Amino acid sequence: MKSFSVLLLLILVSAVLAQLFLPWWSVVPLCLGLAAWRSTSIGGAFLAGLLGAGLSWWLPAVWLNTHGAGLLATRVATLIPLGGNTGLLVLVSGLLLGLAGGLAALSGALFRWAFAPRPAAPAKA
């Protein structure tokens, strides 16, 4: 459980930092690399990628939604169309990135297992 949290946190922090300077898709190689390096289970890697990448959007989106972008978010949520529901828009946005991040982390974990079929104890943090 601890190693899952570590991976999740690693993904979240690095995804946030990366996206301050790089395009959104920089989270894809990040999740892949971090999962290949530190994942302990395949399902755990996917979940850490999903939540880590997802949170890197959910957190700032929730903040911006109440700090200046709420009106526009309502309009975008009408355009998309999500019935003007900004909560749903935040959820869906984060899920999209989470899906990309989760899949990238999953493939990273799968490669790790392919190289080391029976991994030893999880690497030390």
Residue 57 interacting with another protein (CB under 8 A): yes
Beta carbon of residue 12, minimum distance to another protein (angstroms, whole number): 14
Q: Does 86 bind another protein (CB under 8 A)?
A: no
SS (H, E, C) 6-58: HHHHHHHHHHHHHHHHCCHHHHHHHHHHHHHHHCCCHHHHHHHHHHHHHHHHH
Name the residue nearer to another protein (CB basis): 2 or 31.
31
Return the number of other C-beta atoms located less than 10 Å from residue 23's C-beta.
9
The token pair at 119 is: 């991994």
Rounded to 10 deg, the angle between the 27-38 and 2-21 helix axes is 150
Binding of another protein at residue 93 (CB under 8 A)? Answer: yes
Binding map of another protein across residues 64-83, x = CB under 8 A, - = no contact: xx-xxxxxxxxxxxxx-x--
Closest contact distance (angstroms) between CB of 56 and another protein is: 8
What is the rounded distance in angstroms from the CA atom of residue 68 to the CA atom of residue 45?
Answer: 35
Asked if 40 interacts with another protein (CB under 8 A), we say: no
Q: Which is nearer to another protein, 6 or 16 (CB)?
A: 16
The residues binding another protein (CB under 8 A) are: 19-20, 23-25, 28, 32, 57, 60-61, 64-65, 67-79, 81, 84, 89, 92-93, 96-97, 99-100, 103-104, 106-108, 110-111, 113-114, 117
